Chains A and B, each alone.
Chain A
Amino acid sequence: MADASYPDNLKYHPEHDWALIDGDVATFGVTWYAQDALGEVVFFDPPEVGTTVTAGEPYTEVESVKAVSEVVAPLSGEIVEVNAALGDAPEAINDDPYGEGWMVKVRLSDSSEVGALIDAAAYEAMLA
């Protein structure tokens, strides 16, 4: 997997999740730090489209060989798309956490929550 990186165009949740906001829809995933801490991901439990997620609450799990980790939603809303490709190739979460490793797309219910997220610099400062 590539070296640590935290793209500037994303917003971050302190539980090691990112959100890419595009109008009222956001894409969620886990950060480079999270996938590194987890080790090789072997299973992604896809949530169902239509499920409501709440900021700060877990919406799915990812598993490595000897760990299970809940994935926390950075923002609230309704899942409109799930990255089905992760079912067969969960390693994308390690190989490309901000690209092929995206997890869900969510129609946001409260755009004001975005203000609570932190930017890349603040997230990196938190990790240091």
Chain B
Amino acid sequence: MKKFFILFLLFTIHYSLSTAVNAGDIPTKPKPAATPEMLAKGKTIYFKRCSFCHGLIGDGNGPAADFMDPRPRDFTIGTFKFRTTASGELPTDEDLFKTISRGLSGTGMQAFDIDKIKNGLTEEERWQVIYYIKTFAPEFSNKELDPYKSIVKPSSSNIPFSKESVEKGKVIFEKTKCWECHGKGGKGDGVKEERKDDWGFPIRIRNVTQPWKIKAGSESEDIFMRFSTGINGTPMPSFIDSLKEEERWHLANFIKSLQYKPNDQSVLKAKQIKGDIPMDFENPVWAKSEVIDIRLAGQVIAAPRWQNPSIDMVTVRAVYNEKEIGFLLEWDDPFKDVIHNESLEFDPKDISSAGAYNSYVDPNKMAHRKLETFRDSIALQFPIKMPEGTKRPHFFRGDAGNPINIWLWKADMDVSGKTAVEENIGTGFKQPLKVQDAKEQQVVAKSLWNGGRWKVIIKRPILTPDKNDTQFEKGKFIPFSLNAWDGSNGEHNLLMSLSTWNYVILETSTPATVWLWSLFGIIGMAGVEIWIVRRIKKP
């Protein structure tokens, strides 16, 4: 019995240790031989798990491919973006192993490592499918193109992240003109004109400040490797000849320093301020207020469905005074889109019926993803009636019995000096929004676009006489959610990103009774102490 217990203990310790180590990206066992049996098994795995995106013949044209951006990789032409080999070369088997194991962040390619996902692929299964994938491109059987001849290996380990290293990296960023494409702040806002990659699809320059979307990993080592190998098929070059290894490490550290870490606040706390709601972005009141980062997803709830949203996070602040409440919304958007062409809007009728080909929108064929086509826009949404308990309108524009109040801001209106923000009523996503009467419009907005980022302040009186308005009562948890549109990403109407419900609360000062109770506590305890001390002193 005792022996059994010890065995159990050892097993538990072993198990907890083995799960703590993040294995998987690098094979733990030697690579097995590519036998015909391995290939046959790889073919079955490919058919079951990969073919729907990458296509039955590996050309990247599977039935799900048309609705994704970036599109699945075409395996037939032997061009692979993420490698540890010199620019233009094929990837090593280990490179493919890494991609399959951990996936590519921000794309449809997810991790397949069985340590991360219950029904993922074992190490052996990953090798099998890699051997099969390599049969699609004739380049892999060409001995002259052997990728193992051109492996890029740093001669030393990384330079640790430090202020000095970041400073040096910044100088290199300027000197190497990374900003020409990636923008001064790294938000991917450097090049305006449309360019196409080797596969013929529009290039979207990486916003390096959002680590959750950096495809092949956001650690310094990953970033270093991209500088050293380039990204095949795109204008991203290799800097292996133009920058010394040390310089590439400093640059990687600088890029790392630009990465934004979203906070995990669950409630937006609006602080009470004295004086007016600041309508300027530099005002220290905003810097001092609390921040909440809200994640957004593509609108995939109803046709037309959109799984390529550009805006996936909005940073929100709020303050209020006795009369008004103001929200500051900030989000990354590389281009300032202030034109709206209604005639180019998508007609949802084509794909909204049952049995239609698909209810998702093809980003490359159906949507006009061009500059100067659609406006940038954002909206704040609240329930009109404050919920009883936790009951709320549906987060997707409410429903007939539970309408929502939505403040819709439009960039094109703002720059042309018209009313930029309007109060609307929503009764479900099937109904168009209803603009409230002119006399019931009380929202005011101010906006600024700078260096790939929008900032918009929207304010409104906390209480209004209008029965179709949300009333902001102090101390109440008021649900709010967001809708966002990036015009040059083809977004308009229901092609948008949206968030589910979050809470905003107008913080009140601590009630006097709390202080009174605390005072009683202090006095009471002191009294008890005095009584004890006196008793002890008595003989």
A and B co-occur in one complex: no
- Chain B contacts to A: CB under 8 angstroms: none
A residues bordering B, Cβ < 8 Å? Answer: none
